[in-house]
Amino acid sequence: MVPYKDMDDDAVFRALADASRRQMLDRLHARNGQTLGELCQGLAMTRQAVAKHVAILEEANLVSSERQGREKLHFINPVPINAIAQRWISKFERQHLNALADLKETLEGKGRN
Amino acid sequence: MVPYKDMDDDAVFRALADASRRQMLDRLHARNGQTLGELCQGLAMTRQAVAKHVAILEEANLVSSERQGREKLHFINPVPINAIAQRWISKFERQHLNALADLKETLEGKGRN
DNA sequence: TTGACATGCAACCATTTGGTTGCCTATAAA
DNA sequence: TTTATAGGCAACCAAATGGTTGCATGTCAA
């Protein structure tokens, strides 16, 4: 509803704070549309614990899901991560920004030669 | 000691999970080298609570500090945030990467004209 | 229809987290 | 040498977090 505010950031940052949840995002990134059962594999915890993590990822809008028959498919949503990277992290990222600026300047300089 | 591993990521992500700590980083970004007392101003919590947050930021290597007389000056360290942005978030950031690649290609194309 | 499978829901538990208060130490200033 | 200021340390507390177990529900297949 409300456009991106700091509260949304908070949910995303907190969702990303747990290594198991980051691993789930990794695995969804490797193969999108996995079921809850598939996400459970390789994680040393019960299915219910995984379901809770997934719920937190969904609340942060990092994962969306779709019920298909008796299965629930999960899809990663890169938008909130993008938003954080662009609006928050890039503030602290002088090196990257400067490197990009330098690259642009260098190449534009070449263009004018 | 050990180069950047996932355990380091974990400390950084968890340090970033708290809104008060992100605010402290914001404020250090706005003006570097603040004392503990200065960092306390405007935060609705005791100095001791702020000191704990600072300790967490220091353990995550996001902030370094230097004792100067009876004051302790705090400095933001952008390296871990850079590292996360580049190694972890950019994986999910197709748009940004593509935009950067496009820019590079465009400008290099100009250079060859 | 009956059984197996995928998921949901709720109660419960231990540990971590974010905060407090109280007191101590060190340095600067009067 | 007092006194005020900046910070450190430790005990304590409530709430959030990450996990469990037990059971219920919905759907596919034999």
ipTM entry: 0.82
* DSSP-assigned letters across all residues of chain B: ---S-HHHHHHHHHHHT-HHHHHHHHHHHHSSSEEHHHHHTT-SS-HHHHHHHHHHHHHTTSEEEEEETTEEEEEE--HHHHHHHHHTGGGG-HHHHHHHHHHHHHHHHHHH-
CA distance B67 to chain A (A): 24
* pLDDT score at A38: 97
Which one of 1.10.10.10, 1.10.1130.10, 1.10.1040.10, 2.60.40.10 gives the CATH number of domain B6-112? Answer: 1.10.10.10
User: What pLDDT score does B111 carry?
Assistant: 45
Instruction: Give the C-alpha separation, A103 to A97, whole Å.
Output: 10
B60 vs B92, which has greater pLDDT? B60
Residues 36-65 of A with CB under 8 A from B: none
pLDDT 10s digits, A12-66: 999 999 999 999 999 999 999 999 999 999 899 999 999 999 999 999 999 999 9
Residue B112 in this model has a pLDDT that exceeds 50: no
Q: Domain limits of chain B?
A: 6-112
Mean pLDDT of chain B: 83
Residue A111 confidence (pLDDT) above 60: no
Quote the minimal CA–CA distance from A71 to chain B in Å: 25
* Predicted local confidence at residue B113, as pLDDT: 38
Chain A residues whose beta carbon lies within 8 Å of the beta carbon of residue B103: 100, 104
Q: Is the CB of A33 under 7 A from strand C?
A: no
Q: Which residues of A touch B25 (CB under 8 A)?
A: 92
